[in-house]
């Protein structure tokens, strides 16, 4: 089952603008991660934020986490056409039997128009 819900489902912006995607989840987590997926195939890990962290930066990416609201946001600054992709948040919680499976949301489809 899907744990998270990304919002919006689709986002279209002009190159150079900032893109903000939100994610809400349901249960306690160990960490939350954001992935990018091009053309419905392999996922690329972007950034991980631990449950005791509130904000993290990596290049043009900024992630925030609010565990009290069970929500996270991903900000991509100065977007480029190459950022066009689907973005997924994934939560990681200990599920027993030593398994740290990722639970993904449905994703936000970002289109950056040149």
Partner 1 sequence: GAGVSQTPSNKVTEKGKYVELRCDPISGHTALYWYRQSLGQGPEFLIYFQGTGAADDSGLPNDRFFAVRPEGSVSTLKIQRTERGDSAVYLCASSRERGGVDTQYFGPGTRLTVL
Residues in touch with partner 1 (CB under 8 A): 1-2, 4, 30-31, 33, 35, 40-45, 48, 50, 88, 90, 92, 94-107
Buried b (16+ CB within 10 A) or exposed e, 99-111: eeebbbbebbbbe
CB of 82 to partner 1, least distance (A): 18
In this structure, the strands spanning 71-76 and 19-24 are antiparallel
CB nearer to partner 1: pick between 98 and 114: 98
CB of 49 to partner 1, least distance (A): 11
CB of 113 to partner 1, least distance (A): 22
CB nearer to partner 1: pick between 19 and 89: 89
Q: Which of 87, 74, 102 is nearest to 44 (CA)?
A: 87
Which tokens is 12 given?
A: 């279209």
């Amino acid at each position: 089952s899907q744990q998270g819900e990304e919002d919006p489902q689709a986002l279209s912006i002009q190159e150079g603008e900032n893109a903000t995607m939100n994610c809400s989840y349901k249960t306690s987590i160990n960490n939350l991660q954001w992935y990018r997926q091009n053309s419905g195939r392999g996922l690329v890990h972007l950034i991980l934020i631990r449950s005791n962290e509130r904000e993290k930066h990596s290049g043009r990416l900024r992630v925030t986490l609010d565990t009290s609201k069970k929500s996270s946001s991903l900000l991509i600054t100065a977007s480029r056409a190459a950022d066009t992709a689907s973005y997924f948040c994934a939560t990681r919680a200990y599920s027993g039997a030593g398994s740290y499976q990722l639970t993904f949301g449905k994703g936000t489809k970002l289109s950056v128009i040149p």
